[in-house]
Structure 1
């Protein structure tokens, strides 16, 4: 592997990042990840703009002063799904060619990869690294609620978007993703003792049960529509008619038309009560549009595939039902490739891992892709 992409140094940085708790709702930890990365970008001559956030970590915009209008956008996130205290129970470790730890593949290895890819380009004398703008956001794992507008604003005028989610287990990149949405159904009823005066109660749980059945009837897996009430809350005691009940709904779709149609049907289901005397409050929306493999994405993938071939790496692509920030840039018509991070698996679990050999390999691939795209005209 090239002398400027040093695997040991990369692993040392990865260990530092993994051993920082940075769950989406732990602002202090996510900001600490940013503090580790900022000086590394500054060493390469980049300027950092910090967008302060109150409830989540600050977002960072990384831009080189020599390129007022960079044409390549890289998007990576600093947050993980793991709560504060996770690192104490299972810190970074290396075992049998794999690295383990919270967020090691999703996506702290990708953060390391971005730094070293840009460093490589600078060290070999390529000015391509100056034509890159990097967005490091802090809330991707909870839907990029505060960073979506930032990503879409900075993506305007860009020629290419490279999203640093990890590659699939077999090394495939991602060229298609399903759209996703989150909704909350809050039902208000009337409490009563279930033994003494049950007739005076109006069960919010019963009403929510009716809604769950109707919502699950919207599933059409054959056509890529998934509707699932994954969490329910409600009730105070087993002998009390429930006054409140809450259902949390996850939605996945394959097309923009499906997104509009399913959202409308959800609103219809929740527009009226089945249990007299209960009221329903629906909140939420379709958070991410689907990423569709169009001709622009196909052309960009072929560039990456050719770069991979030059390096002796067979590059394949796939589609996935998970969401990412690639949905935002692709919906804007910007050629977008996702899954450009290193290879690993079991993300969001205590068995999450990185294939260590892929860390340097995919970093060099990223650097060479940036170099190739820099040669392309807008």
Structure 2
């Protein structure tokens, strides 16, 4: 087989193992010339690192560079920039009533939530590089009842600080403008934009140049790209650290039953990673 299949092989067990082997190889060869390497394995990254984000930003001030071991893109590129954003939780409280006998005495929380959802979706395309996606929604308690409760989560992302500011303002204004479309309902908003972008800085481009040189030494080339996804690299960048991301082996279809890792990329990209670390110590 030329692929490994399974949950997390790409995002990001492959990258974590690659990092362990890269450091072990340099130590075995007596090339561990660094003062300190911190190897961070974060079990809460997929839920936004709520407990560790502050620690990561503080830690950034103690090091010279961050190499994030998320999988390489399917085309082999590494990641030099990431969107920032945040998750919103929007709840609507209405009033229950019998659906057949006296629905007019109720206040349909589901319909009010739908007004919010459609208006938020219409924001797509109004802010350059921003995305607004209604991810989950639930409402009601029984089929024969006017729904007294409804809630949804909304994922929002943008490419730069100005976009994040505009996005936050647009979401709040849209929710305020559509509140009360169903009389008798009340909207409760939680969450918001809370993850800064991982910008494509001069420091990041210097790390990319090291990665290019290391890849060339192994007989292959790499490109760079910006990703709409976020990682702990966002927090390290917010702490002022140059960050290069997507350095793990190449994989794809993350978070799906068909998630895969390309076997032939494991050794070359692990060697590339070791070469980057070595160059950082010179």
Q: TM-score, normalised by structure 2?
A: 0.94
Corresponding residue of 1:9:
none
Deviation at 1:285, TM superposition (A): 2.0
Q: Is residue 135–residue 151 contact of structure 1 (8 Å, CA) maintained in 2? A: no
Corresponding residue of 1:165:
70
Q: Is residue 4–residue 262 contact of structure 2 (8 Å, CA) maintained in 1? A: yes
Q: Does 1:342 align with 2:263?
A: no
Deviation at 1:174, TM superposition (A): 0.5
Q: Does 1:226 align with 2:128?
A: no
Aligned pair partner of 1:305 in 212, 225, 232 = 212
Q: How many aligned residue pairs are there? A: 280
Corresponding residue of 1:358:
265
Distance in 2 separating the partners of 1:212 and 1:293: 32
Moved over 3 A (4+): none
Aligned pair partner of 1:253 in 138, 158, 167 = 158
User: Any idea what SS the aligned residue of 1:192 has?
Assistant: coil
Deviation at 1:278, TM superposition (A): 0.8
Deviation at 1:127, TM superposition (A): 2.2
Compare relative contact order (CA 8 Å, sep 6+) and give the higher one, 1 or 2: 2
Mark the runs of 5 or more structure 1 residues left unpaired by the alignment: 1-95
Q: Does 1:323 align with 2:230?
A: yes
Q: Is residue 143–residue 287 contact of structure 1 (8 Å, CA) maintained in 2? A: no
Deviation at 1:129, TM superposition (A): 5.2
Q: Is residue 122–residue 129 contact of structure 1 (8 Å, CA) maintained in 2? A: no
Q: Is residue 3–residue 263 contact of structure 2 (8 Å, CA) maintained in 1? A: yes
Aligned pair partner of 1:216 in 102, 112, 121 = 121
User: Any idea what SS the aligned residue of 2:257 has?
Assistant: coil
Q: Is residue 10–residue 249 contact of structure 2 (8 Å, CA) maintained in 1? A: yes
Alignment of 1:135-284 (within 5 A): 135-220=40-125, 223-271=128-176, 272-284=179-191
Q: TM-score, normalised by structure 1?
A: 0.71
Alignment root-mean-square deviation, CA: 1.5
- Range 192-201 or range 325-334, more displaced: 325-334
Mark the runs of 5 or more structure 2 residues left unpaired by the alignment: none
Deviation at 1:270, TM superposition (A): 2.9
Distance in 2 separating the partners of 1:228 and 1:123: 48
